[in-house]
Amino acid sequence: MFESLRSISDHKILCDTDAIIVQERKLTLRLLVHLHEIERRKLYLIRGYGSMFVYCTTHLRLSASAASRRIRTARCLARFPELYAMLESGEVNLSTVSLVSKILNQKNHASVLGRISGKSQRDVAAIVAEYEPRAVLPADHVRTIVVAVPIKHTNEYNRSGGQESSTVEGSTPEEGRRAGDPEKSPAATASSSETMTLERHAVVKFTARELVMNKLEHARSIASHRLSPNASLEDVIEFLADYFTEREDPAKRHARREARKNNEKRERARTNTSTKVNEDAKRRIPVRVRDQVFVRDKGQCAYVSRDGKRCGSMHVLQIDHINPVARGGASSPDNLRLLCAYHNRLEAERLMGRSGRRLRSAQAARGTSDRGFEPRPARRRSPRRRGAPGEFAPSSAMPVQ
């Protein structure tokens, strides 16, 4: 093909090129008119494509940017027929028209089209910015790259719901390393002896309003205890996406519902067969309630002496049922208080006497205990193991750090 031009004169080459450009513009205009008619008749839908864009990129095999420019320009051409002559003469082109299409309306089209005639894309972007500053911001950009990562890293990544590692057609690890950030790339820090694998990553560029960045920063600070101190923006976005899908994904919601149903079934079965288990369940204090009691009592022992002295100890705090579970006391904040282990023991002894342990067991068995203070065997043993002989265990221990 190239050989056939070698013998042709310079003048003819230049003239032929001018003629080809004119033909190309005419062909482009024909294509635009056809595209508009396809869209008007919704032929892309009838042929099974979800949108004009999908039809153009899949069936016509246009690139994403070429398809977008042609679709926008075709729509513009239908609304403002004077563009036909401007496109035919080359005063405007697909890029400048698709840029200006974001701001063109029935009121401004005459003046705007007059201003962009013969202008470069950069000049047209400046004109568009006068009307709509956000219209000329760079479009979101996502590009797939391939990065070589150590096998170990890949497995961890996949376990946490990351992408599958694979190769990408037309990409090489070298391209990936060139395109990625070498300082952050695991490939850069991995020793050469480690087994490497190729993993798909995406370079994402988008313009975010300050408001959005502030929201992301706020989310990062709230989630700081669950993110590493030097969490990247990718970590924050992944965390937020996981957090949202965990709650909103219908499949996960369904699985939770099923698990709840099964738990309730099991709980009912336990209640029917064992009152002991039932009492343990009643004694269990939800974390939400524990937190509430801890905050209300300011993280200090709430024991108050007859003359009004509050202990206030912040060590070995335990949650105490004021009216014991065995006497129908609930695990609700108004029946709970924080006590240090010593005041917990004192309260029990005061109410039940020095021989409280034996007495209380007998009373509890008969259901007549004054206070029904019921140490659980496992917890009664634990203070002794820590070298505090005779220490009495609380009804419901909650070590607080």
Binding residues for Zn ion (CB under 5 A):
301, 303, 311, 313, 340, 343
Phi, psi of 211 (to 5 degrees): -55, -45
Question: 324: closest CA among 348, 298, 343?
Answer: 348
Report the C-alpha gap between 93 and 73 in whole angstroms.
9
Q: How far is CA 206 from the centre of its chain?
A: 17
Q: Output 85 or 314, the one with its CB closest to Zn ion.
A: 314
| Interatomic CA distance for residues 310 and 340, integer angstroms | 11
User: In angstroms, what CA-CA distances link 356 with 61, 276, 303, 341, 349?
Assistant: 86, 21, 19, 16, 6
Nearer to Zn ion (CB atom), residue 312 or residue 333: 312
Q: Would you say 48 or 299 has its CB closer to Zn ion?
A: 299
Cα gap 267→3, rounded to integer Å? 86
Choose between 311 and 351: whose C-beta lies nearer to Zn ion.
Answer: 311
Tokens of 357: 């342990």
Residue 146: Cβ-neighbour burial (10 angstroms; 0-12, 13-18, 19+): buried
Shortest reach from residue 341's CB to Zn ion, in Å: 8
Nearer to Zn ion, 36 or 321 (CB): 321
Burial per residue of 372-385, b for 16 or more beta-carbon CB atoms within 10 angstroms, e otherwise: bbbbeeeebeebee
Q: How far is the CB of 342 from Zn ion (least distance, A)?
A: 6
First to last CA, the chain: 82
CB nearer to Zn ion: give 325 or 340.
340
Of 74, 63, 79, the C-alpha closest to 37 is 74
DSSP state of 56: I
Neighbours of 244 (CB within 10 A): 10
Helix, strand or coil for residue 245?
Answer: helix
Least distance (Å) between residue 385 CB and Zn ion: 21
Q: With 0-12 CB in 10 A as exposed, 13-18 as middle and 19+ as buried, what is 179? A: middle
For residue 343, the minimal CB distance to Zn ion (Å) is 4
The token pair at 237 is 């976005």
Would you say 269 or 314 has its CB closer to Zn ion? Answer: 314
Count of other CB atoms within 10 angstroms of residue 77: 21
Question: In the complex, what is the shortest distance from the CB of residue 218 to Zn ion, in angstroms, rounded to a whole number?
Answer: 39
CB of 298 to Zn ion, least distance (A): 13
Q: How far is the CB of 319 from Zn ion (least distance, A)?
A: 13
- DSSP letter at 3 equals G
Q: Considering beta carbons, is residue 292 or 313 the nearer one to Zn ion?
A: 313
To Zn ion, the closest distance from the beta carbon of 361 in angstroms equals 25
Q: How far is the CB of 399 from Zn ion (least distance, A)?
A: 14
DSSP annotation of 66: H
